[in-house]
Amino acid sequence: MMGQTDIDASSGVPVAISHGLVIGFLTASAFTMWGAYLQIATAILIVYELGRTATLSMPIAVAVGICVLLAGVGLMVYCWRTILTTGAANASRTGKVKGALKTFSAAPVEAATAMTRRISVL
């Protein structure tokens, strides 16, 4: 939605090439993570309410709540690792972009070189 699509017919077969904005990817990632974290928070609140009303015994409610919380921590690690890996992989394939859209301005990097580079988490 926030990028542009070019048609490349140099090989004889028209191929659509999409160029997206990094901010669009990060915005979509943020909204997806926000929804997932809200689902985990809702699950924790439901387990808390079930334990508080004695519908669920408290030791089981605590165990389930801890499992849901650990799943949330795992989701956080997975999300950030995937976002950083995807950004690094796409940066290694980026070449010159025509028109006003300049997603990445650096020269393309070989895939083997890009995979050996370290990416700061914070």
Asked if residue 10 belongs to a domain, the reply is: no
**Total structural domains within the chain:** 1
**Residue type at 97?**
V
Cα(26)–Cα(8) distance, integer angstroms: 27
| Domain carrying residue 103 | 21-116
pLDDT confidence bin for 122, thresholds 50/70/90: very low
pTM, rounded to two decimals: 0.56
| pLDDT beyond 70 at 101 | no
Beta-bridged to residue 4, according to DSSP, are 19
pLDDT in tens, 2-35: 566 777 777 777 777 766 667 777 888 899 999 9
Residue 122 maps to a domain: no
pLDDT digit string, tens, across residues 35-87: 999 999 999 999 999 988 888 888 898 999 999 999 999 999 999 888 888 87
Please check whether residue 4 lies inside any domain of the structure: no
Q: Are strands 4-8 and 15-19 parallel, antiparallel or unpaired?
A: antiparallel
| Residue 67 Cα distances to 44, 62, 71, 72, 73, angstroms | 10, 9, 6, 9, 10
3 part of a folded domain? no
Give Dmax over CA atoms of the chain in angstroms. 69
